[in-house]
Structure 1
Amino acid sequence: MTSRRLLLGSLAAGLLTVAGLAAAAQELPPLATLPPVPVPADNPMTPEKVELGRQLFWDGRLSGNGAMACSVCHLPELGWGTATPISFGYPGTEHWRNSQTILNSAYYNKLFWEGSVTSLEAQAPAAAGGGVAGNGDGSMMEMRLRFVPEYVEAFREVFGTDWPKISQAWQAIGAYQRTLVTDPEQVPFDRYLAGDETALSEGALRGRDLFEGQAGCIACHNGALASDQRYYALGVPAAPQFDDDSLFQITLRWELYQKGVPEAVYRAGDDDLGLFHVTKRPEDKGRFRTPSLRELRWTEPYMHNGVFATLEEVVAFYNGGGGAGNTVLSPLDLDDRQQADLVAFLEALSMDEPLLQDPPELPQTQTWAEFPDEQN
């Protein structure tokens, strides 16, 4: 049995002492500064491709109604999310999950809360074409791009093709997203790792000891990303919207149905089933990927359904041992000061200021009347 499995099993059973936790934590990848962004061989980055991706990220043409750009659900001033418990839905619908920040998404090996895609290039079309997200049709979105002379020229320069292809649009957006990463020089914890002993407050230093010791956070939140990228059922409370709002209920049932769950599960479904939607294994119900702890200060609310508005609420949830259906956590018995210290350390994993960007100026669509050669 691996040290990780031993640690998680002991945590769930409440058997691990503080000393044992510290020893086991030494076998886990330590928290570290993020390395250079990994770039796939089949989508190399160039400044021109990144700039094209930046424009497309803000361009509503890549959606069903021409207005639901990627940026609608990933706004820089809202932590590159929506700052609402549940993401914005396509007009006439509601969404069903919290809009995850795309900051540092380049480091994940799987995207979305249940890890249903394995690259940024696959994530973009899944969101743009999702029925309660972008609701776009690939061929229609591609044709819209072909009616924009500036895009025709840019795609030709970047990809060497005569006309924009929708698959290339996703590559450009992926390249752009790989630039949206934490700057370690702006992060107190990274400055501390680099030798600045004044970068962390006394409370944050105590919080780090708790993180790696009594609280056991390091068991799942380890490595440079502060995530093991695995999936756990913590008993996170269901989103109240599923009880209070009929449109949210319709979305939930539709998502359960279209993701192919058995009829008995669909009929009785009253919550997001997480990883089960990918694997269809009963033991995976309610499991969600461990999110990165980087940039938490700017990316509230928290959890897959945004049910916790503050880090204090998150820490209190873990301190209490999770919720109904939890298979991992046990009570931590931290007092108020210890919980505050843990929050201080979590905030020290974020940049001093949020990463902001102004939207680009988008090119105009050319009407059919402006294509004289095509009319003859």
Structure 2
Amino acid sequence: MKQTVTIALGLALMASQSLAEMPRPAGLAALGEPPIPADNPMSPEKIELGEMLFFDPILSGNYNMPCSACHLPEAGWAIQAPISFGYPGTTHWRNSQTIVNSAYYGKLFWAGSSGSLEHQARSAARGGVAGNGEDDMMESRLAFVPEYRERFADVFGDDWPNIRHAYDAIAAYERTIIQTDTPFDNYMNGDDTALSEAQVRGLEVFAGKGNCISCHNGPMLTDEKYYNTGVPPYSGWEDDEIAQITFRFELYAKGSTEAMYRSTKDDPGLYFRTKETSDKGKFRTPSLRYTAFTYPYMHNGMLESLRDVVEFYNAGGGSNEFAANKSAQIQPLGLTDGEMDDLVAFLESLSGEELIVETPELPEMQPLPASMAAN
């Protein structure tokens, strides 16, 4: 009996060692430091200003929608609901993406419509169903806050707060909201104990039988390309009148044909940017990082859990209005329940500790000095 137990323990140890020593997939990597654009260098003062502006509703149409309204730190720096909040009286029409590690993206938003965090901040602040602000109005508000006037002068040399510099500051702050010490990162950096046995098996499924790595690769686990995976339409469009109005507004505002405006019942995605029929229903591959805290998933939040996502792809994706454009690589995977469990375990290794911050103290608006008001 003793010899049998010893052999069993030895075999278990060998199996554990073989899993830990599995070669790291060539298509994946740990996350390094984020790229910093030459035209918006970082400084502690700029980051501090950006943090204040990120949480301050002063940069919105009705003084009620700061960046943090749709990117709540306690909700994964996003919204834990299928569709994000909208400007009061409206609702949004897509799922809010986390800003954690957004510093590494080359394309922002679900259809890649912004090429930088600076541009993304401006688009969100001005968006008709998001911030709904006007640059000149928000700039004037900033000028009524003495502390902001001082900070803009110190950081940017502005005599009067420049709204473009506000977006620069917000982008600088967002580049500090990163996570590079997940179990996955530690494993890829050589720590064989950073992943559990289930997570190592899940990594093998991810890079092998599941072929998730074909789209989710590189340090950010995304190729930033566009695919139609067959995600079903947002269910709220069936019975939510405000959501229906928002959806019709977006179809109209983004240049749909009249026939398309009258008949389309699903989000055309990349088509809005390219106007190519073949791009209907395609969305940019999202990063898989920090996904433990960013449920629900997909561009419209139609999948509630990581297990739902794995089962969705194991079934070969789904079906939507633009089925003719469904990407060819979305095929049934044939994973067993155990393999799906391991894959979920691996996906959980892509998140570290939850990133929670305290809301900064915000300055109050005050009347302009008489000398400035006269100008």
In the superposition, the TM-score normalised over structure 2's length comes to 0.90
Superposed counterparts of 1:224-235, under 5 Å: 224-235=219-230
Alignment correspondent of 2:138: 141
Matched, 1:32 2:33: no
Distance of 1:29 and 1:207 partners within structure 2: 16
Match of 2:236 among 241, 246, 250: 241
Contact 1:85/1:98, CA 8 A, preserved across alignment: yes
Superposed counterparts of 1:165-184, under 5 Å: 165-184=162-181
Alignment correspondent of 1:358: 358
Alignment correspondent of 1:85: 82
Matched, 1:346 2:309: no
Match of 2:50 among 40, 50, 53: 53
Match of 1:197 among 187, 192, 196: 192
Shift in Å, 1:194: 2.2
What is the percent sequence identity of the aligned residues? 57
Matched, 1:158 2:158: no
- Secondary structure (helix, strand or coil) at the match of 2:187 reads helix
Shift in Å, 1:367: 2.4
Match of 1:255 among 236, 250, 258: 250
Distance of 2:373 and 2:56 partners within structure 1: 28
Alignment correspondent of 2:276: 281
Contact 1:322/1:330, CA 8 A, preserved across alignment: yes
Alignment correspondent of 2:5: none
Alignment correspondent of 2:117: 120
- Secondary structure (helix, strand or coil) at the match of 1:255 reads helix
Distance of 1:195 and 1:114 partners within structure 2: 35
Query: Cα gap change, 1:145/1:29 in structure 2, threshold over 3 Å: closer, same or farther?
Result: farther
Shift in Å, 1:230: 0.3
Shift in Å, 1:29: 5.9
Alignment correspondent of 1:314: 309
Query: Cα gap change, 1:281/1:339 in structure 2, threshold over 3 Å: closer, same or farther?
Result: same
Write the letter of the residue equivalent to 1:175. Answer: A
Stretches of 4+ moved more than 4 A in 1?
Answer: none
Shift in Å, 1:195: 2.2
Instruction: Mark the runs of 5 or more structure 2 residues left unpaired by the alignment.
Output: 1-22
Query: Cα gap change, 1:311/1:213 in structure 2, threshold over 3 Å: closer, same or farther?
Result: same
Write the letter of the residue equivalent to 1:366. Answer: Q
Alignment correspondent of 1:16: none
Distance of 1:112 and 1:189 partners within structure 2: 25
Alignment correspondent of 1:13: none
Distance of 2:121 and 2:258 partners within structure 1: 29
Name which one, 1 or 2, has greater alpha-carbon Rg: 2
Match of 1:107 among 96, 104, 107: 104
Q: Deviations 1:244-273 (Å, cap 9, x if unpaired)?
A: 111111110100110112221111121111
Match of 2:216 among 221, 234, 238: 221
| Structure 1 stretch displaced more, 75-84 or 320-329 | 320-329
Distance of 2:58 and 2:32 partners within structure 1: 34
Alignment correspondent of 2:91: 94
Matched, 1:44 2:29: no
Write the letter of the residue equivalent to 2:148. Answer: Y
Write the letter of the residue equivalent to 1:82. Answer: I
Q: Deviations 1:129-153 (Å, cap 9, x if unpaired)?
A: 1111011111100000000000000
Shift in Å, 1:375: 6.1
Alignment correspondent of 2:15: none
Write the letter of the residue equivalent to 2:294. Answer: T
Q: Deviations 1:350-369 (Å, cap 9, x if unpaired)?
A: 11x1111111000110125x
Distance of 1:232 and 1:258 partners within structure 2: 23
Instruction: Mark the runs of 5 or more structure 1 residues left unpaired by the alignment.
Output: 1-25
Q: Deviations 1:32-88 (Å, cap 9, x if unpaired)?
A: 111211011111111100100000000101000001000000010100001111001
Query: Cα gap change, 1:375/1:264 in structure 2, threshold over 3 Å: closer, same or farther?
Result: closer
Contact 2:30/2:186, CA 8 A, preserved across alignment: no
- Secondary structure (helix, strand or coil) at the match of 2:344 reads helix
Write the letter of the residue equivalent to 2:366. Answer: Q
Query: Cα gap change, 1:197/1:59 in structure 2, threshold over 3 Å: closer, same or farther?
Result: same
Write the letter of the residue equivalent to 2:75. Answer: L
Distance of 1:122 and 1:68 partners within structure 2: 18
Contact 1:253/1:269, CA 8 A, preserved across alignment: no
Contact 1:29/1:222, CA 8 A, preserved across alignment: no
Distance of 1:213 and 1:375 partners within structure 2: 66
Q: Deviations 1:149-191 (Å, cap 9, x if unpaired)?
A: 000000000001111010000000010111011132xx11111
Distance of 1:375 and 1:364 partners within structure 2: 18
Q: CA RMSD in A?
A: 1.3
Write the letter of the residue equivalent to 1:344. Answer: A
Distance of 1:142 and 1:67 partners within structure 2: 16
**How many pairs were matched up?**
345
Distance of 1:358 and 1:259 partners within structure 2: 37
Contact 2:269/2:281, CA 8 A, preserved across alignment: yes
Write the letter of the residue equivalent to 2:349. Answer: A
Contact 1:32/1:190, CA 8 A, preserved across alignment: yes
Distance of 1:195 and 1:373 partners within structure 2: 62
